[in-house]
Structure formats: C-alpha cells, structure tokens
Amino acid sequence: MSAANEWLYLDYAATTPLDPNVAERMREVRQTSFANPASNHAAGRLSATVVDQAGVQLAELLNTDPGRFLWTSGATESNNLAITGVAKQRSHLGRHLVTMRTEHKAVVDVFRALEKQGFDVSWLLPDADGQLSVEQFEAALRDDTQLVSIMHVNNETGCFQDIATLGGICRTRGITFHVDGAQAAGKVPVDLEALPVDLYSMTAHKFYGPKGVGALYIADGTVIEPLMFGGGQQRRLRPGTLAVELIAGLGAAAAESASRLETDLLHLTALKQQLLLGIETIEGVCVNGPKSGAYPGILNVSVADIEGESLLLALEPLCVATGSACNSQSQEPSYVLRALGRSDMEAQSAVRFSLGRPTSKADIARAIDLYRAAVVKLRSIAPGHTT
C-alpha cells in the first residue's frame, strides 16, 4: 500500500477532509461546551446555544429557519427518517410512493424495505443523461401517491434533477416531497425558502464537515413519524444526546460553504474542464451523465474494453471511485449507470473522479497521466488489442 502522501485523492464525493476552520471551531467547542445541551444547568445551556448557533449557520446556507432542522447521524439516517416517517404517517391516506432507480442506496433500500411492508413503489427511469422527464414524472403520480423522493444531485454522475418543477407538481397535488440533498447541500446553491420541498436530507462530511452528523430539514406543516424513541430531545422526533461538537462542526462547515460557494464552483468547473479535455482524447472514453450542466465536482467516465478492477489497481496511487460510490466494496457494475442505459461492460469500467477544494491543476494533470497510462497498459495486455 502506498504512503498517504503519495496518494492522489479524487474521491471527494465519497467524503471530504475536515476544513481547518471547522476543525478549529470544533476544538473550541470541545473545550468550552462539552455538556449535554438538554441539561438544566448553566453548562447545559451554554451547549444549547452552541447547537442553536449551528442551526442558524445551516439555515443561512440554505435560506430557511433554524427551527426546521433535526440533527441526525448523516444523510442515511435523514433519508430513512424522512421516507419511512412520511410513508407511515400517511399510510392511512394511501400507500403509493414514487422514486427513481438512480437514487442512492440510502433511498433505494428504504423503499425496498417499504415495498416488503406492502407499500407500492413506482421506480422511475431517467433518460440516458440521468435526467427525469417531467412528463414521465407526472404520469407516475396517482391519487393515492403520498410521497415522492428525488435526489438533488446524483452522487455518481453529478446530474441535477429539476426539483423545483417536480416539487411544484407535488405541492399542487398535496404529495409530500423529499429530496436527498447529500451531494448538493454545501456544494451548490440551495434555497429552501424558494424550493417547494418538504423534507431535505444532508450530511456534513460531504462538505468538509465532520463524519457522523447530518440534518433533516422539515418544512412547516410536514409531519413524520420518528424512527427512534427515547428522551424528549428534538421534539421527540430524534432522541439521543446531541453531539454538540459535531453539530457545531456541521454549522461551521455550512458557514464556510456559504462564504465560498461561488469560488468553489468556479474552481471545480475549471478543473473538470481540464480533466475532461485530457481524458476525452483517449479512444473509447465516454462520459456518463449529462454532457453539460452537471455538478462540476464529479466526472464519471467509462472506457471501452477495459476491465474495471484492473483499471482501479492500475490507477493507483489515484484514489477514485468505481461502482456505487458510497459502497465501493461491492464490485458489481453500478446500478445507476445501468439505469442510464449503459451496458454491463461500460458500467464495470466506469471511474468517478470527484474533485474538491484541495484539488489543484497539477493534481488533474497527474490524474490524466495516470488514467491514460492505465488504459494504455491494460489495452496492451488485452487479447485483440495487441499489434
């Protein structure tokens, strides 16, 4: 295994390092406010103000009220809580739910579990770019549809869904609309005041905050059932001692993101352009996801006639994702790319480059070289490609 400093980490969509300002804020909080924010004494109240402040920071980033967030352990929990919470809460009104085939596992598997409990789930397919068409969406809605869950930015391709339009349709029909924003919050502008969204999931470690903490935005008037019980914390919707330091970290990460969202996006856009230019000259390379308009921090490419596992090893010390981003342990070709119409062969060679704040032009140049060299090497080995 290579030493850490030789690696070239381009897997920022899986997780990001902690921002130094965030780390500093957490250190401060650890020293001054370790008490339980629910404790009825002065130390507890100080911790409570720390939590409140983080709420304000997150609310500023997403343009909403601080009182609308639940603190969770991450987007997986937020998604589970939102989706199961609404499905159960509204099950007496109907049992039809709508989502997409290209959602993250933390949405897909929740709906699968609900299917086993007798809910009826419509699984929508996107077009070849990953986009869900509004017509197809409307056609899927029924009188007994209670919940729609559509992700904001796809974790494998960076493709955006038009959640403003989809949410608007849900609102006119009285359908609860959940958005998995794990790849959007803190990374692209999100305006929860303007968006017709009832529930929005996020996780701090995707935007340079700590791992193990996330949030669920719940719009006024949206009612959900809790997933866990115990203690009166968080309006009984999510009990457990609040992780003050982590929540402060999430807040600080939100503040940091708010102040540099545009800068980050410009930086990533330039890098993605550089990467794309360098890579698309390689014969047989094709981009997975939209040709334009995708989130600039993600570039997913397949390459003809290359075996994926060997590609990954040949790419070392480049740290990139293959297969499903967040659980790369399974070597199955990505179900997301297959839903986009990619063949198994194309999907299994897919590599997701995801770029971040620390990524430099030199890193991208090195990544291009490594990728090209790996492809050339594996092609030279393959039967039928030798000269």
Is there a catalytic annotation at residue 286?
no
The residue within the footprint of ligand PLP, chosen from 66, 94, 168, 240 (CB under 6 A), is: 240
326 binds its own copies (CB under 8 A): yes
4 binds other proteins (CB under 8 A): no
330 binds ligand PLP (CB under 6 A): no
Pick what 190 binds: other proteins, its own copies, ligand PLP, none; C-beta below 5 to 8 Å, kind-dependent: none
184 CB contacts (<8 Å, ≥6 apart)? 152, 153, 190, 202, 295
Pick what 383 binds: other proteins, ligand PLP, its own copies, none; C-beta below 5 to 8 Å, kind-dependent: other proteins
- Classify residue 234 as exposed, middle or buried by CB count within 10 Å of its CB (0-12, 13-18, 19+): middle
Task: State the Cα–Cα distance between residues 38 and 40, nearest whole angstrom.
Answer: 6
Q: Number of H helices and number of E strands within the chain?
A: 11, 12
Element (H, E) at 217: strand 214-218
Query: How many residues lie near other proteins (CB under 8 A)?
Result: 25
Residues 352-381 that bind other proteins (CB under 8 A): 380-381
Pick what 151 binds: other proteins, its own copies, ligand PLP, none; C-beta below 5 to 8 Å, kind-dependent: ligand PLP
The residue within the footprint of other proteins, chosen from 91, 122, 274, 310 (CB under 8 A), is: 310
Q: Which of 159, 170, 286, 326 is catalytic?
A: 326
Dump strand ranges (E) for 109-198: 120-124, 145-149, 176-180
The residue within the footprint of ligand PLP, chosen from 182, 244, 294, 314 (CB under 6 A), is: 182
237 binds ligand PLP (CB under 6 A): no
CB of residue 73 vs its own copies: minimum separation in angstroms?
A: 4
List the strands of the sheet with 214-218, edge to edge.
69-72, 214-218, 199-203, 176-180, 145-149, 96-100, 120-124
Neighbours of 41 (CB within 10 A): 9
Residues 313-352 that bind other proteins (CB under 8 A): 313-314, 329
CB of residue 133 vs other proteins: minimum separation in angstroms?
A: 34
Task: State the Cα–Cα distance between residues 350 and 344, nearest whole angstrom.
Answer: 10
CB 385 within 8 A of CB 305: yes
**Residue 178: beta bridge partners?**
149, 199
11 binds its own copies (CB under 8 A): yes
CB 208 within 8 A of CB 200: no
CB 353 within 8 A of CB 298: yes
Question: What CA dihedral angle connects 150, 151, 154 and 159, to 10 degrees?
Answer: 70
307 binds other proteins (CB under 8 A): yes
Between 37 and 66, how does the x/- string for binding to other proteins read (CB under 8 A)?
xxxx---xx-xxx-xx--------------
The residue within the footprint of its own copies, chosen from 63, 89, 91, 233 (CB under 8 A), is: 233
Backbone angles phi, psi at 207, to 5 degrees: -130, 50
Contact residues toward other proteins (CB under 8 A) are 1, 37-40, 44-45, 47-49, 51-52, 305, 307, 309-310, 313-314, 329, 380-384, 386
Contact residues toward ligand PLP (CB under 6 A) are 74-76, 104, 106, 151, 155, 180, 182-183, 203, 205, 214, 240-241, 326
- The set of catalytic residues is 326
